[in-house]
């Protein structure tokens, strides 16, 4: 069971059934109290101590949408080996501002 990244904050699992010589895949989506998960993310210190990558993961939980991979796609023009911690923090902050998430993260840090 995991957080699907299809645009809704739900848990997801699949049931695989073998029939004849093929597999049937049946996805199941289950709403859960993602706000409690976000609260724990903040209260545990994960959001503040986890740094910029944790900020993106927080938004993934909230929205059920890809954030880390979207950021990496946006940043791929520059080799990631050239990113130091400060550059990564700056780039992720700009990314979060661009998509309207920074104010919420900033308040919770």
Tens of pLDDT, residues 29-56: 888 889 999 999 999 999 999 999 999 9
Asked whether the beta carbons of 38 and 46 are under 8 A apart, the reply is: no
- pTM attached to this predicted model: 0.80
The two three-digit tokens of residue 18, written as one number = 């073998």
Given a cut of 80, is residue 76 above it in pLDDT? no
State the pLDDT at residue 80: 60
- Residue carrying the six token digits 């308040």: 107
- Calculate what percentage of the chain has a pLDDT beyond 70: 93
Residue 26: beta bridge partners?
15
Paired strand residues for 2: 12
- d(CA 62, CA 101) in angstroms, rounded, equals 10
Torsion angle, alpha carbons of 103, 109, 35, 8, to 10? 50
Q: Are 76 and 60 in contact (CB under 8 A)?
A: no
Q: Has residue 78 got a pLDDT over 90?
A: no
Within 8 A by CB and 6+ apart from 75, the residues are: 83, 91, 95
Specify the residue for token string 């739900």: 10
* pLDDT score of 102: 96
């Amino acid at each position: 069971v995991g957080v699907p990244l299809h645009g809704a904050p739900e848990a997801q699992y699949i049931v695989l059934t073998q029939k004849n010589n093929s597999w049937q895949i049946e996805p199941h989506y289950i709403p859960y109290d993602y706000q409690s998960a976000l609260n724990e993310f903040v209260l545990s210190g994960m959001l503040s101590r986890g740094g910029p990558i944790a900020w993106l993961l927080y938004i993934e939980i909230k929205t059920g949408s890809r954030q880390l991979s979207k950021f990496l796609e946006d940043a791929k023009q520059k080799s990631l080996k050239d990113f130091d911690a400060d550059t990564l923090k700056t780039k992720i902050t700009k990314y979060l501002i661009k998509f309207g998430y920074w104010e919420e993260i900033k308040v919770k840090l």
